[in-house]
Amino acid sequence: MTQRRSMFLLSSVVFGFAFLYVPILSLIIFSFNESKLVTVWAGFSTKWYGELIRNEQILEAAWISIRIAFVNACFAVALGTLAGFSLARFGRFRGRTLFTGMVTAPLVMPEVITGLSLLLLFVAMQDLIGWPEGRGVTTITIAHITFSMAYVAVIVQSRLTSVDESVEEAALDLGAPPAKVFFVITLPIIAPALISGWLLSFTMSLDDLVIASFVSGPGSSTLPMVVFSKVRLGVSPEINALATIIVLVVATGVIAAGIVMRNQELRRARDEHMAAAENL
């Protein structure tokens, strides 16, 4: 009985993981394919990686994407933290539910709509005040900030609700004015949430295709846009190589973050255990 059950569990796990990772695995394998035909194996080669490095268009797009992602992440963390802080700490002000809903709306809004509305806004603004001049890196960055900051706000808010508010009150009580309390007490305590918010914003910006397509202009194609336009002309092993590199970078980041967090968790648990054992 139990054996049958464990067989069932095992096969579910295998099937689930296969479903998730076989496509990625096949992509990685075929990136080392000698042949130009993606589906026919013709021996091992790293030549597509060489091609990739020589491809100006892809490199330029990657550089644009990274710049956008970086600026976006910084702004999103700054704005999202302020929004999350006011959601968590201003108590029950008038229209709080509305505000919460509005901050989190971009999370569920279809990207097409977000993209389209931003495009319309940018066009209208250009007509009215002459800024932003045309569409390009600036407009993509602004568009990304609008949805990234919603994620940061939610992360910061949920982190703050688990921080005892009396810690901030204690700092006030000891003579620190509110702004100082925010920078000296609140921010350091929620720093891990800010870091994960930053990383999330960064990756989401790197990933985004739909919104960027709406608000980009000539000479500002991001990496996903270039990849997508190339794939429409047929999948080349070059793209496989690019995808493999991206998977590698992302996996390294995720695993590194995981290890750091786990170590912190372990050390904390050990410290608490020791303190309790001393029981002085």
Binding site for another protein (CB under 8 A): 164, 166-167, 169-177, 180, 185, 188-189, 268, 271-272, 274-276, 278-280
With 0-12 / 13-18 / 19 or more C-beta atoms within 10 angstroms meaning exposed / middle / buried, residue 72 is buried
Indicate the DSSP class of residue 42.
-
Least separation in angstroms between residue 161's CB and another protein is 15
Least separation in angstroms between residue 171's CB and another protein is 7
Of 108 and 174, CB closest to another protein: 174
- In 46-113 the beta strands, taken as DSSP E runs, fall at none
Tell me if 223 sits within 8 A of 65, measured CB to CB. Answer: yes
Of 57 and 158, CB closest to another protein: 158
Least separation in angstroms between residue 156's CB and another protein is 16
Q: Which of 205, 65, 66 is nearest to 149 (CA)?
A: 205
Indicate the DSSP class of residue 182.
I
Q: What is the largest CA-CA distance in the chain?
A: 74
Of 133 and 165, CB closest to another protein: 165
Of 108 and 277, CB closest to another protein: 277
Q: Assign residue 40 a region: left if phi > 0, alpha if psi is -120 to 50, beta otherwise?
A: beta
Of 127 and 278, CB closest to another protein: 278
Least separation in angstroms between residue 263's CB and another protein is 15
Least separation in angstroms between residue 227's CB and another protein is 42
